[in-house]
């Protein structure tokens, strides 16, 4: 039941904020903050209560689920469930939702109530997306989220907001439609085979598909998720959408929305079509490496601070894509950690850009420089997140990217060697950002007020998880392990595959056939 409450709660609160905000804008803000805060508290309780369950193997990966028939005639049910992975994502939704509300405290001054309604609606749909196990429900929520997101960009965005919003909508819509076709085809094929027409993910998992069919359907899912992630060359909506969106929109986009791509691949695409996915893995890993380097190099070319940060997202999501197609425990754990850490590090950078735009009314880095002199606290905080972005050890992003690369090393050494260049490139854009904005001038280019207490607390709250996950990521790993293990059992890399060996790199470097990282190539006597 808690899951339904978690989905419905932001929506209800959003309606309340809308109504309240008609008269008193400030009430809408407070309602939203309290709603998100209360949700986080509830989630904290869930974590504490359920934490012991994660340690128990054999308990099954799901710690909560609701299964209600919805349109039984068509095999549609309201089926939501959460394993560790989903719970992490849901928590992330609430945390970033809270931060998004806080970051638009002063930025949004028009139609405040409606804004918060849209924002909380997005959060509600996202929570649903990360827990839905009925493919119809998943698709429905996947589309539902686009509408408020579209308006968040188009109504409260910057100069070219309508263009950006339409572009965002168009990309996602086309990808989504291809996925819909694939879902419906899977539904029909499964129905013909078994006589049971259902959208239940767990039942569809066992569907027998010929390699050709599986490949086509997999590509349908991939289209939707690759647009979201985004994978190069489907990424061009992202810099526009991120840049034009209000800060809250950028936060939700970078922290949550694009993570649907990663989540969808891990949860649905690979387990539903494992052989097809693994057969295509070399291509997609190549695409991932391309994305890592392409996104980073394009970040060099930007003058618009927000656009620069947006391109770094493309680069970081390339790591996640690499991990998904490496599909071993190390890489997947790393991917989940990257999802979480990127949400905070990049989200914080967007928040900082938003604060600067509020103060300077520009995002052009050529008009900045030397700002550390006038806003030292903001400079220091920006440096922390820039360092997270470049993968400094002791911050979570490092652990994530290290695990991803070590996992992908076992699958493809060349891809990893190239991907590791992404870390060098990340150093360039991160340090360049700091230099161009905060250093290198005897007198600041413009004077800018430093962080206020609210802003400082908000950014510190985003830095804390990065530090925690950089030094002690174990709780997160423990939480997502059973869920990931279950998914990996569904889709075993290198298992009986028809002819998949041909397309994969040399067998000596491949993960052990159990898919659970049986250990090093020559020996595996590692001590705990």
Partner 1 sequence: MHTMIVLIPLLPLAGFVVTLLLGKRVLSARPEVVSLAAVTASWVLSMIVVAHVFGAHDKAIDFNLFTWVSAGSFHVQWGYLVDSLAAVMLIVVSTIGMLVHYYSIGYMRSDGGYYRFFAYLNLFMFAMFTLILANNYLLVFLGWEGVGLCSYLLISFWFHKKSASQAGKKAFLVNRIGDWGFTLGLFLIFTTFGSLQFGQVFAKVSLVSPGLVTWISLLLFVGAVGKSAQFPLHVWLPDAMEGPTPVSALIHAATMVNAGVYMIARSYPLVSHSHTAMLVVMIVGTFTAIYAACIALTQNDIKKVIAYSTISSLGFMFMALGAGAWVAAIFYLFAHGFFKGLLFLGSGSVIHSMSGEQDMRRMGGLRKKLPLTFWTMLIGALANVGMFPFAGFWAKDEILGGDFSAHYYIVWAVGIVTAFVTALFMFRLMFLTFWGENRASAEVQRHIHESPRVMTVPLVILAIPAAVLGLVVGLPPDGGWLHTFLQPVFFNVEKEHFAWAGTGGGLMALSLVVVALGISTAYVAYLRRPGLPARAAARVPWAYEASYHKFYMDEFYNAAVIRPVMGFAMWLWAFVDVRVIDGAVNGLAWLWGAFGRVLRPLQTGRAQSYAFGVFAGLFVLIILIRYFWGA
Give me the least distance between CB of 481 and partner 1, in Å please.
8
Site size with partner 1, rule: CB under 8 A = 88
Give me the least distance between CB of 379 and partner 1, in Å please.
8
Site for partner 1 in 389-448 (CB under 8 A): 390, 392-394, 398-399, 402-403, 405-407, 409-410, 416-417, 420-421, 423-424, 427-428, 431-432, 435, 438-443
Euclidean distance between CA atoms 402 and 156, whole angstroms: 38
Among 300, 457, 464, 513, binds partner 1 (CB under 8 A): 300
Among 144, 202, 205, 467, binds partner 1 (CB under 8 A): 144
Burial of 179 (0-12, 13-18, 19+ CB in 10 A): buried
Q: Which residues contact 305 (CB under 8 A, 6 or more apart)?
A: 353, 356, 363, 364, 365, 368, 433, 437
Give me the least distance between CB of 497 and partner 1, in Å please.
21
Among 188, 283, 457, 495, binds partner 1 (CB under 8 A): 188
CB closer to partner 1, 498 vs 525: 525
Site for partner 1 in 215-244 (CB under 8 A): 233, 236-237, 239
Instruction: Classify residue 231 by its DSSP letter.
Output: P
Site for partner 1 in 462-481 (CB under 8 A): 471-474, 477
CB closer to partner 1, 103 vs 412: 412
Question: Judged by CB under 8 A, does residue 387 bind partner 1?
Answer: yes
Structure tokens at 329: 């425990």
Closest C-alpha among 127, 129, 139, 136 to residue 173: 139
Is residue 319 within 8 Å of 285, Cβ to Cβ? Answer: no
Among 328, 345, 346, 389, binds partner 1 (CB under 8 A): 328
Site for partner 1 in 7-66 (CB under 8 A): none
CB closer to partner 1, 230 vs 246: 230
Give me the least distance between CB of 135 and partner 1, in Å please.
11
Give me the least distance between CB of 339 and partner 1, in Å please.
14
Is residue 452 within 8 Å of 415, Cβ to Cβ? Answer: no
Site for partner 1 in 64-123 (CB under 8 A): 74
Among 2, 19, 34, 184, binds partner 1 (CB under 8 A): 184
CB closer to partner 1, 103 vs 470: 470
Q: Which residues contact 417 (CB under 8 A, 6 or more apart)?
A: none
Is residue 388 within 8 Å of 466, Cβ to Cβ? Answer: yes
Among 128, 230, 264, 370, binds partner 1 (CB under 8 A): 370
Euclidean distance between CA atoms 130 and 222, whole angstroms: 17
Among 294, 325, 344, 350, binds partner 1 (CB under 8 A): 294
Site for partner 1 in 331-350 (CB under 8 A): 333-334
CB closer to partner 1, 499 vs 508: 508
Question: Which residues are paired to 200 by β-bridges?
Answer: 134
Give me the least distance between CB of 438 and partner 1, in Å please.
7
Q: How many C-beta atoms surround the C-beta of residue 424 within 10 A?
A: 12
Question: Judged by CB under 8 A, does residue 450 bind partner 1?
Answer: no
Euclidean distance between CA atoms 511 and 508, whole angstroms: 8
Residue environment code for 222-244, b if the CB has 16+ CB neighbours within 10 A, otherwise e? bbbbbbbbbbbebbebbbbbbbb
- Could you tell me the end-to-end alpha-carbon distance of the chain, in angstroms, rounded to an integer? 38
Euclidean distance between CA atoms 421 and 424, whole angstroms: 5
Among 2, 15, 19, 147, binds partner 1 (CB under 8 A): 147
Give me the least distance between CB of 458 and partner 1, in Å please.
18
Question: Judged by CB under 8 A, does residue 156 bind partner 1?
Answer: no
Structure tokens at 223: 């289209």
CB closer to partner 1, 57 vs 421: 421
- Provide the residue count of the chain: 528
Among 373, 461, 463, 467, binds partner 1 (CB under 8 A): 373
The enclosing H or E element of 4 equals helix 2-23
Closest C-alpha among 378, 368, 370, 377 to residue 443: 370
Give me the least distance between CB of 311 and partner 1, in Å please.
9
CB closer to partner 1, 39 vs 148: 148
Tokens 């949400």, located at residue: 343
Contacting range for partner 1; rule: CB under 8 A; set: 6-14, 94-102, 252-260, 385-393 = 385-393
Give me the least distance between CB of 250 and partner 1, in Å please.
19
Q: How many C-beta atoms surround the C-beta of residue 282 within 10 A?
A: 16
Is residue 300 within 8 Å of 428, Cβ to Cβ? Answer: yes
Euclidean distance between CA atoms 353 and 364, whole angstroms: 10
Question: What is the pattern of x (binds partner 1, CB under 8 A) and - over residues 190-209?
Answer: -xx----x------------
CB closer to partner 1, 318 vs 370: 370
The enclosing H or E element of 81 equals strand 76-82
The region that residue 84 occupies, defined by phi over 0 for left and psi between -120 and 50 for alpha, beta otherwise, is: alpha
Structure tokens at 135: 């493919």
């Amino acid at each position: 039941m808690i899951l339904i409450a978690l989905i419905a709660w932001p929506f209800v609160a959003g309606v309340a904020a809308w109504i309240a905000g008609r008269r008193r804008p400030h009430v809408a803000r407070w309602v939203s903050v309290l709603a998100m805060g209360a949700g986080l508290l509830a989630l904290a309780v869930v974590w504490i209560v359920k934490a012991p369950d994660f340690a128990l193997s054999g308990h099954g990966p799901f710690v909560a689920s609701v299964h209600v028939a919805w349109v039984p005639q068509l095999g549609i049910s309201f089926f939501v469930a959460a394993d560790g992975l989903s719970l992490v994502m849901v928590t992330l939704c609430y945390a970033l939702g809270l931060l998004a509300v806080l970051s638009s405290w002063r930025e949004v001054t028009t139609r405040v109530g409606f804004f918060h309604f849209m924002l909380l609606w997005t959060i509600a749909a996202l929570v649903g997306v990360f827990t839905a196990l009925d493919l119809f429900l998943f698709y429905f929520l996947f589309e539902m989220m686009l509408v408020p997101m579209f308006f968040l960009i188009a109504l409260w965005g910057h100069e070219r907001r309508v263009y950006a919003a339409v572009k965002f909508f168009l990309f996602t819509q086309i990808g989504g439609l291809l996925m819909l076709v694939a879902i419906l085809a899977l539904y029909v094929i499964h129905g013909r085979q078994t006589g049971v027409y259902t959208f239940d993910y767990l039942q569809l998992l066992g569907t027998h598909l010929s390699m050709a069919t599986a490949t086509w359907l997999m590509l349908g899912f991939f289209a939707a998720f690759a647009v979201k992630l985004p994978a190069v060359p489907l990424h061009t909506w992202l810099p526009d959408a991120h840049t034009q969106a209000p800060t809250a929109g950028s936060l939700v986009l970078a922290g949550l929305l694009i993570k649907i791509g990663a989540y969808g691949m891990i949860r649905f695409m690979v387990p539903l079509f494992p052989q097809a996915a693994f057969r295509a893995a070399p291509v997609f890993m190549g695409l991932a490496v391309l994305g890592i380097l392409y996104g980073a190099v394009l970040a060099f070319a930007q003058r618009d601070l927000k656009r620069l940060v947006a391109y770094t997202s493309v680069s970081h999501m390339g790591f996640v894509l690499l991990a998904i197609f490496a599909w071993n425990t190390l890489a997947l754990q790393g991917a989940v950690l990257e999802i979480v850490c990127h949400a905070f590090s990049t989200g914080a950078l967007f928040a900082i850009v938003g604060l600067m735009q509020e103060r300077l009314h520009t995002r052009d880095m050529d008009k900045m420089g030397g700002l550390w002199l006038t806003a030292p606290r903001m400079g220091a905080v920006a440096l922390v997140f820039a360092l997270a972005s470049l993968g400094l050890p002791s911050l979570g992003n490092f652990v994530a990217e290290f695990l991803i690369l070590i996992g992908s090393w076992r699958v493809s050494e060349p891809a990893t060697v190239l991907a590791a260049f992404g870390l060098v490139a990340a150093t360039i854009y991160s340090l360049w950002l700091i230099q161009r904005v905060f250093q290198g001038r005897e007198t600041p280019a413009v004077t800018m007020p430093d962080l206020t207490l609210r802003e400082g607390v908000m950014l510190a709250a985003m830095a804390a998880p990065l530090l925690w996950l950089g030094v002690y990521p174990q709780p997160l790993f423990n939480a997502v392990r059973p869920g990931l293990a279950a998914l990996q059992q569904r889709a075993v890399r290198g298992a009986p595959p028809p002819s998949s060996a041909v397309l994969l790199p040399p067998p000596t470097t491949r993960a052990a056939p159990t898919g659970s990282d049986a250990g090093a190539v020559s020996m595996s006597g590692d001590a705990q």
